[in-house]
Amino acid sequence: MVTKKLALKKKSYEAGKIVSLLKKNGASVAVAESITAGGLAERITEVPGASDVFIGGVVAYSDAMKTALLSVPKRLITKHTAVSEEVAIAMAQGTREITKATYAIATTGVAGPGTAYGQKPGTVWVAIASKKQTQTIALALAGDRETVRNATITSAIAAFERILLS
């Protein structure tokens, strides 16, 4: 399994494009959400025809749920905290294994207004797993809670689109 970091270019991204690309490729996606609390699944399933490619998702807001539902090793959370690249990767890989989806997208971070795990609001990790590799992006976002969560969803969709187009 290879892990690599993605860089984002500024562009408008829509969930409709990823649904179309997944259909075209005969692929599927599932999500594991912490910071976005179901918002990523909602954004994807707002697209007509998403049921052809969207397997499902898990909102694992607490550390206990990340461990119990997604098989994130407790030692990773203890060593790196839930707001880390390592935990985002484990969330994505665990979700892909559980759902058998072609891809899994995971989001973890701090929406604010206060700090969590010693991390400032706007600190976010997104991981996208496939059978061959897991790619990650680190985000340092600004704004209120809603802005950070929406920017995380948009960034996850953008990163996933880039993967599907590569």
For the chain, the average pLDDT equals 93
Residues 53, 21: contact at Cβ < 8 Å? no
Instruction: List, in sequence order, every residue forming a beta bridge with 101; answer none if it has no partner.
Output: none
Please indicate, yes or no, whether the overall pTM of this predicted structure exceeds 0.85: yes
Q: How far apart are the first and last CA of the chain?
A: 18
Q: What is the pLDDT of residues 53-74, one digit of tens each?
A: 999 999 999 999 999 999 999 9
Residue 2 confidence (pLDDT): 57
Q: Is the pLDDT assigned to residue 18 strictly greater than 80? A: yes
Which pair of structure tokens corresponds to residue 80? Answer: 């790196």
Distance set, CA 32 to CA 66, 79, 82 (Å): 9, 21, 13
Average pLDDT for 69-86: 98
Residue 14 confidence (pLDDT): 86
Q: Which of 79, 89, 165 is nearest to 134 (CA)?
A: 89
Domains of the chain with bracketed CATH: 2-165 (3.90.950.20)
